[in-house]
Amino acid sequence: MLKEWTLFLFKIRNRSFLWHMGLLLVGSAHLASPAWAASMTPKYSDVLKNFKESPEISMQFKAAQSQWPAKSSPALDQLLKQNQDFLKTWDQLLDQSANFHRGQLEDEKVLNQLTQVLQLSLLRLQTDFQQNTKSTQSLQKESQRWLGYAAAVPFDEASLISLKWAHLVRSMVFDQLELALSKYPECGISSGSDFLAWMNQVQVPWPLERILLTEGKRWVSGREVGKLEKLAMMVQKNPYLPLEETLRKIDPHPSENLLKLTVFWTKSDIDLLAEEMNRLQKMQGKLALAHYREKNKQEPKSVEDLVISKYLLQKPIDYRTGQAMSLKDLQ
């Protein structure tokens, strides 16, 4: 099941798979019971009972990506109206940094529903932003909710699935931010320095040590637990090596159980991490450049100028090469 879900999450990261293969399941809606509201760890399945699923959500989201941002339409307005109460409740949970009951992300229906909730939330972001493209308020508000959730869920869930799901959430939110800053570059400046300050504080954690220990202890026991703990520590310190390569530094002839763990962190995972970090740094860099130009009426001579001017907290690093990014990289 774990391996199947790993493949599943890699697939849903490809949005065309979501849109064209009809991945998202449609089920009947149920009246939500308020019992979960008093729980410190609500269950996804309880909260999602009040969500009105529809394949139209994915269709609308697909269409909006080619004609960004989505404009208000009868079909979209109806979807938002049907889920108005649910979205209000969901927003409150994310704003309160709710810790959801562990284990439910392995439920295919729950994950499909959550993906539709994300799509509908981002459609709402687009319609709000479309009404005032000079303001980043709606962009920041919705993005902050989902990015905060994505940063927390791998720690709370401590599973490989949660790590992949968090990456998918961030990837889709980053799409919205990149499109907004590309099509309406003035919005990043007109909102003052608040949006840039927020972007510079965005966290994209990959808690590999925690997840590897949690998942790995299902596979190994006895003396191998010590090797697992050492492996988890080494991967967290240097996540830019595939797990098998790191494992063989500890044990040139690892057991079959330890070798099974190597599917948790491969070259493709490292590429995803590097891509995500680079996307975030380039958005931060473009915003910093825009603010520098606006204030100084000239181009910076180097990335160092952006750091000295406090538009960037530090020099951005290309996570694929390990080299510092240049101004050209940030354009």
pLDDT at residue number 291: 94
The residue among 265, 290, 312 that closes a domain is 265
* Among the listed residues 279, 25, 314, 90, the one whose alpha carbon sits nearest the alpha carbon of residue 170: 279
Residues 136 and 250 in one domain: no
pLDDT value at 82 more than 90: yes
Q: Please, are residues 30 and 48 in contact by the beta-carbon 8 Å criterion? A: no
pLDDT at residue number 2: 38
pLDDT at residue number 190: 75
* Among the listed residues 166, 165, 174, 172, the one whose alpha carbon sits nearest the alpha carbon of residue 205: 166
Residues 58 and 166 in one domain: yes
pLDDT confidence of 39, banded at 50, 70, 90? low
Q: Is residue 273 assigned to a domain?
A: yes
Q: Is residue 291 assigned to a domain?
A: yes
pLDDT confidence of 187, banded at 50, 70, 90? confident
pLDDT value at 94 more than 70: yes
Residues 87 and 180 in one domain: yes
Q: Is residue 283 assigned to a domain?
A: yes
Q: Please, are residues 280 and 260 in contact by the beta-carbon 8 Å criterion? A: no
**Per-residue pLDDT reduced to its tens digit, 147-157:** 999 999 999 99
pLDDT at residue number 30: 32
pLDDT confidence of 193, banded at 50, 70, 90? confident
Give the mean model confidence (pLDDT) for residues 233-246.
95
Q: What Cα–Cα distance (Å) separates residue 111 from each residue in 40, 41, 63, 124?
A: 21, 17, 22, 20
Quick one: tokens of 61? 């989201």
Can you give the residue range of the structural domain that contains 243? 210-265
How far, in Å, CA of 65 to CA of 49, rounded?
28
Domain count, the chain: 3
Residues 49 and 130 in one domain: yes
pLDDT at residue number 186: 86
The residue among 153, 174, 200 that closes a domain is 200
Secondary structure class of 324 (helix, strand, coil): strand
DSSP string, 18-37: HHHTT-S------PPPGGGG
Give ∠ CA 125-128-134 in degrees, rounded to 5.
105
Q: Is residue 325 assigned to a domain?
A: yes
End-to-end CA distance of the chain: 43
Rounded percentage of the chain residues whose pLDDT exceeds 70: 88
Q: Please, are residues 44 and 105 in contact by the beta-carbon 8 Å criterion? A: yes
**Per-residue pLDDT reduced to its tens digit, 115-131:** 999 999 999 999 999 98
The residue among 200, 233, 253 that closes a domain is 200
pLDDT value at 100 more than 80: yes
Q: Please, are residues 154 and 162 in contact by the beta-carbon 8 Å criterion? A: yes
Rounded percentage of the chain residues whose pLDDT exceeds 90: 79
Residues 176 and 320 in one domain: no
* Among the listed residues 266, 240, 241, the one whose alpha carbon sits nearest the alpha carbon of residue 318: 240
pLDDT at residue number 103: 92
Mean pLDDT of the chain: 87
Higher pLDDT, residue 135 or 146: 146
Residues 281 and 245 in one domain: no
pLDDT value at 214 more than 60: yes
* Among the listed residues 79, 148, 85, 153, the one whose alpha carbon sits nearest the alpha carbon of residue 116: 79
Residues 274 and 245 in one domain: no
Q: Is residue 34 assigned to a domain?
A: yes
Residues 48 and 194 in one domain: yes
pLDDT value at 290 more than 70: yes
Give the mean model confidence (pLDDT) for residues 317-322.
94
Q: Please, are residues 316 and 330 in contact by the beta-carbon 8 Å criterion? A: yes
Higher pLDDT, residue 35 or 74: 74
Residues 146 and 14 in one domain: yes
Residues 289 and 261 in one domain: no
Residues 125 and 228 in one domain: no
pLDDT at residue number 34: 44
pLDDT at residue number 12: 41
**Per-residue pLDDT reduced to its tens digit, 258-284:** 999 999 999 999 999 999 999 999 999
Minimum mean pLDDT range among 4-18, 141-155, 286-300? 4-18
pLDDT at residue number 1: 41
Q: Is residue 205 assigned to a domain?
A: no
Residues 109 and 65 in one domain: yes
How far, in Å, CA of 244 to CA of 264, rounded?
9
How far, in Å, CA of 6 to CA of 4, rounded?
5
